[in-house]
Amino acid sequence: MAIISTADELFDSDVYVDLGHTLRIPLHLKCEGFNFAGSVKLRAATSMVASALRLGLIDEHSTMVESSSGNLGVALSVVAAARSLRFVCVTDPKCNPATVKLMRAFGSDVVVADRPDADGGYLTARKTLVRELCSRNSGYVWLNQYENPANWLAHYENTAPLIAKQFPELDVLFIGTGTGGTLTGCVRWFRDNRPGVRIVAVDTVGSVNFGMPAGPRHLPGLGALERHDPAGALTSVAISADMGDRYIETVYDDAWVRSIYGDLDKEQEESHG
């Protein structure tokens, strides 16, 4: 039985879904949404805030600021509320409305960067707005998830060793790649302790993470196995960063999918015709 004093103390989860029966491949899904922030980002948020407090970068008079398209903003809102700290999340129009409401419900301020970058994205615009807010307000402190080592250290110290403990024969680990914190922490831990494990980074088309041309990105937070394992002999795990409930109005909405990608069922029928 877990007994905690504040909401930000609960972020470990040993829940895995065996997708073998559904996908007919040996793949386990690590569910990271069973905490009060609803995502894996609670690890990074807790780590960055604890580090900033320890180093004296923030105190009870400070206002933390961070750029986020969703999950990290919610996680930092949870940590800020639990520790009686102030937090401002700089987000963009692609952030789900329910996520914005959730952050505000926790007591955070939300500022929207509504002008896209030259490539149609909002990351540069969000960072610019963060810098402007910090320059205008002496008590504002940017946690900077993009360069903060406490971000990836949370996954080096927790996420990766927990997976390795549950799957001592692990062959492949799939990780969705946004800012790269989860990926970096896991890659470094497995490189140091289990170098035989292959890490596969996954991102959406339009992300510049893997050197592709920048393009529109419709899923906030993000910038695949059978043919490589025909015998089904590999032990593999994929990290589910959240429970998917924040995408009810996008990925799981047929009208939204058709508006962005067209009639996929019709395209599949034509391709097989």
For the question of residue 41 being annotated catalytic, the response is yes
Q: Are 203 and 209 in contact (CB under 8 A)?
A: yes
**Catalytic option among 41, 94, 127, 266:** 41
Q: How far apart are CA 11 and CA 22, in angstroms?
A: 27
Q: How far apart are CA 11 and CA 74, in angstroms?
A: 13
**What is the radius of gyration, based on Cα positions, of the chain?**
19
What is the token pair recorded at 160? 């990766």
Q: Are 87 and 64 in contact (CB under 8 A)?
A: yes
Could you tell me how far CA 222 lies from the centroid of its own chain?
Answer: 8
Q: Are 39 and 242 in contact (CB under 8 A)?
A: yes
- Enclosing H/E stretch for 266: helix 264-272
Q: Angle, nearest 10°, between helix axes 254-261 and 264-272?
A: 60
- Who's near 39: CB < 8 A, 6+ residues apart? 32, 33, 71, 74, 75, 241, 242, 243
Q: Are 171 and 198 in contact (CB under 8 A)?
A: yes
Q: Which amino acid is at 15?
A: V
Q: Are 223 and 230 in contact (CB under 8 A)?
A: no
> Which residues does the annotation mark as catalytic?
41
